[in-house]
Structure 1
Amino acid sequence: MAENFLKNEGWKLQGLAWLYWCFVDNYVTDFWEKFAYHYSRKGILINSSVAHLDIFEGVPANQAVRAAHIVLLETLSMLSVDRESLPPVAGGVISLSHLWKCYGTTRVPGEIIDHLEVYCGTTRHIIVYHRGCIYKLNVFDENGRMFGLEELTEIFSELLTRDESAGKVEGRIAALTTDSRNQWCLNRRRFFLENAINRASLAVIESAIFSLILDDAKYSSDPEALEIFLKNMLTGDGSNRWADKSLNYVISSNGRMKAEIIRCYASYQEQINDVDVACLVFRDFGKGFIKESRISPDAFVQMAIQLASFKDQGKFSLTYESTSARFYAKSRTETLRSVTKESCAFVKSMVSTESSNEERVKLLKEAAGVHVINSKECLTGSGVDRHLFVLHILSKMTGINSPLLNYYIAQPWELSTSQTPNMTRQINEDEHPNLSWFGAGFQAVCKTGYGISYRFAGNHSICMNIASYKSAENTDSHRLRQHLIQSMHEISAMFRI
Structure 2
Amino acid sequence: MGCGRPRLQPALPGPAGSSSAGAAAAPCSTDSAIAEADRGSPGCGRQLPGAADAMDLHRSQEVLQEIRLPALHSWKKRIMRFKNGIITSMYPAGPSSWLIVVVGVMSSTYGKMDPSLGIIARISETLDMMGRMSSQTKTVVSGVLFGTGLWVALIITMRCSLKVLLSYHGWMFAEHGKMGRATRIWMAMVKILSCRKPTLYSFQTCLPRLPVPAVKDTVHRYLESVRPLMKEQDFKRMTALAQDFAVNLGPKLQWYLKLKSWWATNYVTDWWEEYVYLRGRGPLMVNSNYFSMDLLYLTPSHIQAARAGNTIHAILLYRRELDQEKIKPILLGATVPLCSAQWERMFNTSRIPGEEADTLQHIQDSRHIVVYHRGRYFKVWLYHDGRLLRPREMEQQMQRILDDPSEPQAGEEKLAALTAADRVPWARCRKAYFGRGKNKQSLDAIERAAFFVTLDDTEQGYRKEDPETSMDSYAKSLLHGRCFDRWFDKSFTFIIFKNGKIGINAEHSWADGPIVIHFWEKIVATDCFQLGYTEDGHCKGDTNPGIAYPTRLQWDIPEECQEVIETSLSSAALLAHDVDLHSFPFDSFGKGLIKKCRTSPDAFVQLVLQLAHYRDMGKFCLTYEASMTRLFREGRTETVRSCTTESCNFVLAMVDPTQTVEQRLRLFRLASEKHQHLYRLAMTGAGIDRHLFCLYVVSKYLAVESPFLKEVLAEPWRLSTSQTPLQHVGLFDFNKNPEYVSSGGGFGPVADDGYGVSYIIVGENLISFHISSKFSSPETDSHRFGRHVKQAMMDIIALFGLRSNSRK
Q: TM-score range by the shorter chain?
A: over 0.9
Task: Determine the structure 2 residue equivalent to 1:131.
Answer: 374
Note the C-alpha offset of 1:7: 1.7
Task: Determine the structure 2 residue equivalent to 1:437.
Answer: 742
Task: Determine the structure 2 residue equivalent to 1:111.
Answer: 355
Task: Determine the structure 2 residue equivalent to 1:37.
Answer: 277
Note the C-alpha offset of 1:92: 6.4
Note the C-alpha offset of 1:130: 0.7
Note the C-alpha offset of 1:455: 0.7
- Which structure has the bigger radius of gyration? 2
Task: Determine the structure 2 residue equivalent to 1:52.
Answer: 292
Letter in 1 for 2:659: S
Q: Where do 5+ consecutive residues of structure 1 fail to align? A: none
Task: Note the alpha carbon deviations across 1:247-292, whole angstroms, 9 max, x for none.
Answer: 0111011111322222222222111110101112111110000001
Task: Determine the structure 2 residue equivalent to 1:215.
Answer: 456
Task: Determine the structure 1 residue equivalent to 2:314.
Answer: 73
For residue 122 of structure 1, give the secondary structure of its aligned residue in structure 2. coil
Alignment of 1:146 with 2:383, yes or no, is no
Alignment of 1:288 with 2:530, yes or no, is no
* Contact kept? 2:422, 2:568, Cα under 8 Å: no
* Contact kept? 2:309, 2:391, Cα under 8 Å: yes
Note the C-alpha offset of 1:473: 1.2
Write the distance in 2 (CA, Å) between the matches of 1:255 and 1:100. Answer: 30
* Contact kept? 2:749, 2:755, Cα under 8 Å: yes
Alignment of 1:175 with 2:413, yes or no, is no
**2:365 is matched with which residue: 97, 122, 144?**
122
**1:100 is matched with which residue: 333, 339, 344?**
344
Task: Determine the structure 2 residue equivalent to 1:396.
Answer: 700
For residue 480 of structure 1, give the secondary structure of its aligned residue in structure 2. helix
1:470–1:380: structure 2 CA closer, same or farther, 3 Å change rule?
same
Note the C-alpha offset of 1:198: 0.7
Write the distance in 2 (CA, Å) between the matches of 1:73 and 1:94. Answer: 25
* Contact kept? 1:206, 1:245, Cα under 8 Å: yes
Task: Determine the structure 2 residue equivalent to 1:298.
Answer: 602
Letter in 2 for 1:368: S
Note the C-alpha offset of 1:85: 2.1
Alignment of 1:229 with 2:229, yes or no, is no
Letter in 2 for 1:255: G
For residue 366 of structure 1, give the secondary structure of its aligned residue in structure 2. helix
Write the distance in 1 (CA, Å) between the matches of 2:684 and 2:310. Answer: 37
Note the C-alpha offset of 1:423: 5.4
RMSD: 1.4
Task: Note the alpha carbon deviations across 1:317-341, whole angstroms, 9 max, x for none.
Answer: 1100001211111111110110111
Write the distance in 2 (CA, Å) between the matches of 1:283 and 1:14. Answer: 48
Letter in 1 for 2:319: M
Write the distance in 2 (CA, Å) between the matches of 1:295 and 1:349. Answer: 19
Letter in 1 for 2:360: L
Task: Determine the structure 2 residue equivalent to 1:351.
Answer: 655
Q: Please show how residues 347-386 of structure 1 align to structure 2 within 5 Å.
A: 347-386=651-690
* Contact kept? 1:423, 1:437, Cα under 8 Å: no
Letter in 2 for 1:97: A
> TM-score, normalising length from structure 2?
0.60
Higher relative contact order (Cα pairs below 8 Å, separated by 6+ residues): 1
**1:88 is matched with which residue: 323, 329, 341?**
329
Q: Percent identity?
A: 36
For residue 134 of structure 1, give the secondary structure of its aligned residue in structure 2. strand
For residue 263 of structure 2, give the secondary structure of its aligned residue in structure 1. coil
Note the C-alpha offset of 1:175: 1.1
For residue 22 of structure 1, give the secondary structure of its aligned residue in structure 2. helix
Task: Determine the structure 2 residue equivalent to 1:201.
Answer: 442
Task: Determine the structure 1 residue equivalent to 2:111.
Answer: none
Q: Please show how residues 335-346 of structure 1 align to structure 2 within 5 Å.
A: 335-346=639-650
Letter in 1 for 2:673: G
**1:464 is matched with which residue: 769, 773, 780?**
769
Task: Note the alpha carbon deviations across 1:443-485, whole angstroms, 9 max, x for none.
Answer: 1111111110001120111100000111011110001001101
* Contact kept? 1:389, 1:409, Cα under 8 Å: yes
Task: Determine the structure 2 residue equivalent to 1:250.
Answer: 495
1:64–1:447: structure 2 CA closer, same or farther, 3 Å change rule?
same
Q: Which moved more, 1:78-87 or 1:290-299?
A: 78-87
Note the C-alpha offset of 1:88: 1.9
Letter in 2 for 1:154: Q
Letter in 1 for 2:355: E
* Contact kept? 1:126, 1:211, Cα under 8 Å: yes
Task: Determine the structure 2 residue equivalent to 1:412.
Answer: 716
Letter in 2 for 1:454: Y
Q: Which moved more, 1:273-282 or 1:377-386?
A: 377-386
* Contact kept? 1:9, 1:401, Cα under 8 Å: no
Q: Which moved more, 1:84-93 or 1:130-139?
A: 84-93
* Contact kept? 2:471, 2:584, Cα under 8 Å: no
Note the C-alpha offset of 1:146: 1.5
Letter in 2 for 1:294: R
Task: Determine the structure 2 residue equivalent to 1:274.
Answer: 578
Note the C-alpha offset of 1:142: 5.7
For residue 262 of structure 1, give the secondary structure of its aligned residue in structure 2. helix
For residue 170 of structure 1, give the secondary structure of its aligned residue in structure 2. coil
Letter in 2 for 1:210: F
Q: Which moved more, 1:150-159 or 1:286-295?
A: 150-159
Q: Where do 5+ consecutive residues of structure 2 fail to align? A: 1-240, 502-560, 803-808
Letter in 2 for 1:65: A
Q: Which moved more, 1:229-238 or 1:86-95?
A: 86-95
Write the distance in 2 (CA, Å) between the matches of 1:305 and 1:430. Answer: 28
Task: Note the alpha carbon deviations across 1:217-268, whole angstroms, 9 max, x for none.
Answer: 1123122111101001001201101111110111011111322222222222
Note the C-alpha offset of 1:209: 1.0
Note the C-alpha offset of 1:141: 3.0
Letter in 1 for 2:369: I
Task: Determine the structure 1 residue equivalent to 2:752.
Answer: 447
* Contact kept? 2:719, 2:757, Cα under 8 Å: yes
Letter in 2 for 1:242: W
Letter in 2 for 1:135: F
* Contact kept? 2:623, 2:717, Cα under 8 Å: yes
Write the distance in 2 (CA, Å) between the matches of 1:337 and 1:438. Answer: 26
Q: Which moved more, 1:98-107 or 1:145-154?
A: 145-154
Note the C-alpha offset of 1:168: 6.7
Letter in 2 for 1:252: F
* Contact kept? 1:129, 1:135, Cα under 8 Å: yes
Aligned length: 494
Alignment of 1:486 with 2:796, yes or no, is no
Task: Determine the structure 1 residue equivalent to 2:62.
Answer: none
Write the distance in 2 (CA, Å) between the matches of 1:478 and 1:396. Answer: 41
Letter in 1 for 2:259: L
* Contact kept? 1:29, 1:330, Cα under 8 Å: yes
Note the C-alpha offset of 1:352: 0.6
Task: Determine the structure 2 residue equivalent to 1:26.
Answer: 266
Write the distance in 2 (CA, Å) between the matches of 1:274 and 1:334. Answer: 28
Write the distance in 2 (CA, Å) between the matches of 1:473 and 1:393. Answer: 34
Task: Determine the structure 1 residue equivalent to 2:780.
Answer: 475
For residue 415 of structure 2, give the secondary structure of its aligned residue in structure 1. helix
Note the C-alpha offset of 1:402: 1.3
